[in-house]
């Protein structure tokens, strides 16, 4: 590491310290001699265990810690000596039974609602936000994400919406309040179910939605939903179960209905992990059983299930920005987070959120919204001609009424362009931009 010294101080178990540069901003303390072996081998799984258990401590600003940690990992990874010693950690595919999936989800989400409230937005949305300038606060960006999804689905009063993996109910609550739908939300987390049910009841919306503690494989409401949405859930399904997952959506969706799947995707075409080793740490301490496919696999499974793919939107920069917001908010609430969830949990989540922000920023992972429709019995798929409807400004109760839809060709109708000169499209009003003078 001599060519470009990192601002790191390494403190050994006997108190002796070594500075890699003149002004270190990050201090790594090894409280046991065995950790030196793991460090030299680049054994990040063992180092992750030591970090969680407190045998390895890291002090400094989280941005500095991530910069130094990634730089050290990349340099160790390029060392021929390290490559001879280190083995590549690979996540062993696990069996995604109903019991195992419920246990995995409970492990992650049943930490406690008070913990998540400290760093999520006002609507408790634990997924990628949607920015227009990148300067918005997390509350504004998450409201825009909720509205963006509802517009994409063309929700309208009277629609019945299914939210698979509804979390704390934020999306369903928003869709009921502003789009006049009714719906069902399912989750495997008892704490999320209870929170969402109480929130809806407190806002007098309890009769508009049902929140169930239920596995998606146990849904029996065949073809009973006009629209289906799943945000940040299919990562828990497992690659082997993706055909079953999308086939279930197709079974539950009414002909002509729309489905939006929002989830993380791999950027490697073969779905291989990129960047320094970290997957085993995430699988053990954060998201047990998680797995993500490449976007092409998700689109393939959509088509194999009988749905017609219509649109895909990559949101990688949005998730990097979202995760940075979460990281800084959690770090700012350090003492309270430790009080409600414990120091061990705080350490895990802080390094996880910061590491994921870096992964999305570097392009090692991405996140995409995939929109599809279920054809009618005649094979017709009524869908918008353009994407304009997704960005149209509205006041009061939002509505999808008036959106031009493309269906099957009507050969009996005359072509108006043969008789009437073409007119230019009506200019769209410029979107009002926030005043960002003086910001950085």
Model confidence pLDDT, tens digit, residues 252-289: 999 999 999 999 999 888 776 666 555 566 666 665 55
Flag whether 311 is in a domain: yes
Q: Are residues 102 and 79 in the same domain?
A: no
The DSSP output letter for 203 is T
User: Is it the case that residue 297 has pLDDT exceeding 80?
Assistant: yes
Q: Which of 85, 113, 137 is the last residue of a domain?
A: 85
- Same-domain pairing of 195 and 149: yes
Percent over 90 (pLDDT), the chain = 46
Asked if 113 and 59 sit in the same domain, the reply is: no
- The residues, ordered by sequence, that sit 6+ positions from 118 with a Cβ below 8 Å of its Cβ are 329, 330, 333, 336, 337, 340
Q: How far apart are CA 299 and CA 372, in angstroms?
A: 9
Report the CATH number that the domain containing residue 321 is assigned in CATH: 3.40.50.150
Q: Are residues 70 and 209 in the same domain?
A: no
CA-wise closest residue to 152 among 403, 350, 349: 403
46 and 121 share one domain: no
Residue 124, in any domain of the structure = yes
More confident residue, 233 or 112: 233
Contact 268, 213 (CB under 8 A): no
Interatomic CA distance for residues 294 and 304, integer angstroms: 16
The verdict on residue 421 lying in a domain is no
Residue 439's contacts (CB-CB under 8 Å, 6 or more residues apart) are 135
CA neighbours closer than 13 Å in the CB half-sphere of residue 158: 3
> Are 69 and 112 in a shared domain?
no
- 308-314 and 365-373 as β-strands: parallel, antiparallel, unpaired? antiparallel
pLDDT in tens, 304-323: 999 999 999 999 999 999 99
Instruction: Find the mean pLDDT for residues 223-245.
Output: 92
Span 336-392, pLDDT tens digits: 999 999 988 898 888 889 888 888 998 888 999 999 999 998 888 888 899 988 887
In a domain, 430, yes or no: no
Residue that finishes a domain, picked among 341, 373, 405:
373
Are 145 and 243 contained in the same domain? yes
Residues 111 and 24 in one domain: no
Select from 373, 402, 419 the last residue of a domain: 373
What residue numbers bound the domain in which 48 lies?
A: 8-85
- Are 179 and 327 part of one and the same domain? yes
| Whether residues 74 and 115 fall in one domain | no
**For the chain, how many residues are written?**
440
Instruction: Tell me which residue of 152, 116, 91, 129 sits closest to 292, measured CA to CA.
Output: 91
Q: Does 48 share its domain with 187? A: no
Residue 108, pLDDT > 50, answer: no
Has residue 93 been placed in a domain?
Answer: no
Number of domains the chain contains:
2
223 and 339 housed in the same domain: yes
Distance in angstroms (rounded) separating the CA atoms of residues 360 and 354:
10
Within a domain: 152: yes
Q: Output 290 or 86, whichever has higher pLDDT.
A: 290
User: Residue 420 — very low, low, confident or very high, per pLDDT cuts 50/70/90?
Assistant: low
Exposure letters 233-250 (e unless 16+ CB within 10 A, then b): bbbbbbeebbebbbebbb
Mean per-residue pLDDT, 32-53: 78
**Domain annotation covers residue 321:** yes
Residue 404 lies in a domain: no
> For the chain, how many helices (H) and strands (E)?
15, 13
């Amino acid at each position: 590491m001599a060519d470009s010294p990192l601002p790191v101080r390494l403190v050994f178990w006997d108190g002796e310290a070594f500075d890699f540069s003149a002004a270190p901003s990050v201090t790594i303390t090894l409280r046991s001699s065995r950790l030196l072996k793991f460090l030299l081998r680049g054994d990040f799984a063992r180092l992750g265990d030591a970090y969680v258990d407190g045998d390895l401590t890291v002090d400094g600003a989280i941005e500095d810690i991530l910069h130094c940690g990634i730089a050290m990992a990349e340099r160790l990874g390029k060392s021929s000596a390290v490559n001879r010693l280190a083995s590549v950690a690979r996540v062993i595919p696990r069996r995604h039974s109903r019991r195992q999936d419920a246990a995995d989800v409970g492990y992650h989400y049943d930490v406690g609602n008070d913990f998540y409230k400290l760093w999520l937005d006002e609507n408790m949305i634990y997924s990628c936000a949607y920015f227009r300038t990148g300067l918005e606060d997390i509350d504004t960006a998450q409201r825009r994400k909720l509205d963006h999804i509802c517009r994409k689905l063309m929700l309208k009063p009277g629609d019945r919406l299914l939210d698979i993996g509804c979390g704390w109910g934020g999306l369903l609550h928003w869709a009921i309040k502003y789009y006049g739908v009714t719906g069902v939300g399912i989750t495997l987390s008892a704490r999320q179910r209870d929170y969402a049910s109480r929130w809806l009841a407190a806002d007098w919306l309890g009769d508009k939605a049902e929140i169930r503690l239920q596995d998606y494989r146990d849904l029996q409401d065949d073809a009973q939903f006009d629209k289906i949405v799943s945000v940040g859930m299919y990562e828990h399904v497992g690659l082997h179960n993706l055909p079953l997952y999308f086939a279930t959506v197709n079974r539950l969706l009414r002909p002509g209905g729309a489905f939006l799947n929002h989830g993380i995707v791999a950027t490697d075409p073969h779905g291989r992990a990129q960047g320094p080793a970290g997957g085993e740490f995430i699988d053990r301490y954060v998201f047990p059983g998680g797995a993500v496919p490449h976007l092409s696999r998700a689109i393939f499974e959509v088509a194999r299930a009988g749905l017609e793919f219509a649109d895909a939107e990559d949101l990688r920069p949005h998730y990097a920005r979202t995760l940075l917001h979460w990281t800084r908010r959690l770090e700012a609430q350090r003492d309270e987070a430790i009080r409600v969830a414990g120091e061990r949990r705080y350490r895990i989540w802080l390094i996880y959120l910061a590491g994921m922000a870096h992964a999305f920023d570097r392009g090692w992972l991405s996140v995409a919204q995939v929109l599809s429709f279920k054809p009618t019995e005649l094979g017709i798929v009524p869908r918008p001609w353009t994407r304009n409807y997704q960005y149209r400004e509205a006041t009061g109760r939002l509505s999808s009424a008036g959106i031009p839809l493309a269906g099957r060709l009507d050969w009996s109708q005359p072509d108006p362009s043969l008789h009437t000169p073409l007119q230019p499209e009506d200019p769209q009003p410029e979107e009002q931009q926030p005043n960002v003078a003086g910001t950085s």
